[in-house]
Each structure stands twice: as structure tokens, then as C-alpha cells.
Amino acid sequence: MLDRITGMQVFSHAAHLGSLSASARQMGVSPAMATKHVDALEARFGVRLFHRSTRKLTLTEAGQQYLEACSRILPDLEDVEAMIVSQRVDASGLLRLNVPLSFGVRFVAPLLPEFNRKHPGVTVDLGLNDRVVDLMEEGWDLTIRVGPLKDSRLVSRKLADSAMVVCAAPGYWDQHGRPARWADLPAHNCLSFSLSSLSRPDEWRFGKEADKRVAIKGSLRTNNGDALVAAAAAGLGVLYEPAFIVADAIRQGALEQVTLDAPTADLGGIHLVRSSDRTPPAKVRVMTDFLVNAFNPLAPWSLP
């Protein structure tokens, strides 16, 4: 089946130039192909669009009506194509960026004024939630994911590492003692993050290969890291969370980090992820470069 849009273009050029051969040259196709396009239009409509002679083409009444329609439709199509092409060259349009809640509030939202100054043509739709979103089904351009990546259909750029940290309020440690071993944790009130990719609400993992597993129990589990920080800072119990969530509270003295006899598990990094479009629009490219540069060479949550 011949392309209808190309057929409209061949017809329109032929009507203005008075010749299918001239239309073919304008479109960069053979005269035979130009003729096939016009024949296909006439067959579809069941009417003649041109009176044809060996010397020239003249429009029929139906052809005149169709030319008027083409004159309205084709410029609109060209405008749409130009807009789409420009979005791949110039950073513009709506960019939908989904990020984990705590990470987005702390580290992404404060960067957006600078991004806007650099790229005023881009409007950012910032989604904040801790569930794993489906980029393609939900229409997100980019997302930030914490932990190992499993979907091979996606393209990722690493933003930063973030070590896991064991910490609690200094008052909690003074009252219950500071653990020296990872095996000491079952004696403590352990506050757990229910969406963690490294642990379950009743188990924390340690070691470079996350092969040291310790059963924990506690009086609070939640799907939000800030809620855990607030509870721990108030003295409720022990946290095992990424440094980007607890770093501010540790610097302020509200939480105190402890070092155990096994390394904390590898979080798997923090990545910026997009679908596997080989040529993403400029708005996606500039946001990707902007965020990668913002977190390198040193992430703002780095602890000694």
C-alpha cells in the first residue's frame, strides 16, 4: 500500500507545477512512482483528480477540492514534523522525571532552578514516589533507581554510589549499647524499610556479596526513608539505610553511625534510567548530562 501522505504531496506538487514529471523531480522519485501515487489516490476516491493530456494536467472539480484540503493539511503536518525534529536538536517540551521520594526532595528538587536557567524551554514534571515505575507504560522519560538494575530493555547512566549505614540516635546507643558485630543486631529494635532491594523487613544483609544475613525485629517498618530517620532520631531504634537518606542527620548529630565487623552490603549504585530509544530527544539528553555532572565527582551525601 502506497503512503497516503506522500501521495498527497505528489498530487499537490503536480497540481501546482502542472506536470507529474515535475512533481517527481520535486519529490525525488521516478515519474512512474509519481504516477502510481496519483493513480492510487484516484482509485481510492473513485474519481479522477486530473484531466491528463500529453501536454499538461488540469484539475477536475474533485481535484480542486482535494487540492484545497491538501493545502490545509500538509502545512500542519510539516509544522508537526519540524516540531518533533527540533525536540531532538533543541531542548524543549515536557520532561517527565520520576525519582524516589526522599532522594528527590533532598537532591533533585534543589537542582531544578539551575536546570531551568540553563534550559528554559524544558518543563519538568517531577514525580516523587518510592515504587518502581514502568517507564514505557506510564509515560516517564527518565527515572532514578536505587539498587541493582534488572530490566535489559532500559539504558542507564550511573549517578553515584551510596554506602549502606548502620546508625541510631546517640541517646539510643547510650541506653542500649553500641554493637560491634553484625550478629549483635537482633538484640536491638531495628527499624526497617519495607521496599528495600537489599533486605526484607525481618532480615538485614551484610558483606560484600550480601551473604551475611541477620534476622532482625523492631517496632516500626515503613515504605518511606524520612519517616524512619525521624523515628530513629527520636530514639526509637536502629537504622540500616543508604547514606543519602541518613547523611544530614549524622552530620547534625541527630544520628550516630557505627562500624561493625562486616562491611555493609553493596547497594548497587544510583542510576538514571531511560527506555532504549536509540536517539532520545534533546530534553532527555540534557537532563541526563546535567544530573550526571551534578553528582560527580563527589556526591553531596558522602560521609567520612
Q: Where are the domains of the chain?
A: 4-89, 93-161+268-294, 164-258
Q: What is the mean pLDDT of residues 100-129?
A: 94
Q: What is the pLDDT of residue 294?
A: 92
Q: What is the mean pLDDT of residues 165-186?
A: 96
Q: What is the pLDDT of residue 179?
A: 96
Task: Give the 3-state secondary structure of residue 16.
Answer: helix
pTM: 0.67
Q: How confident is the model at residue 86 (pLDDT cuts 50, 70, 90)?
A: low
Q: At a CB cut-off of 8 Å and minimum separation 6, what does 165 contact? A: 239, 240, 241, 242, 243, 246, 247, 250, 257, 264, 303
CATH fold of 164-258 reads D-Maltodextrin-Binding Protein; domain 2 (3.40.190)
d(CA 140, CA 258): 38
**Same-fold call for 4-89 versus 93-161+268-294:** no
Q: How confident is the model at residue 117 (pLDDT cuts 50, 70, 90)?
A: very high
Q: What is the pLDDT of residue 148?
A: 77
Phi, psi of 79 (to 5 degrees): -65, -45
93-161+268-294 — its CATH code?
Answer: 3.40.190.10
C-alpha cell belonging to residue 17: 507545477
CATH level 2 (architecture), domain 4-89: Orthogonal Bundle (1.10)
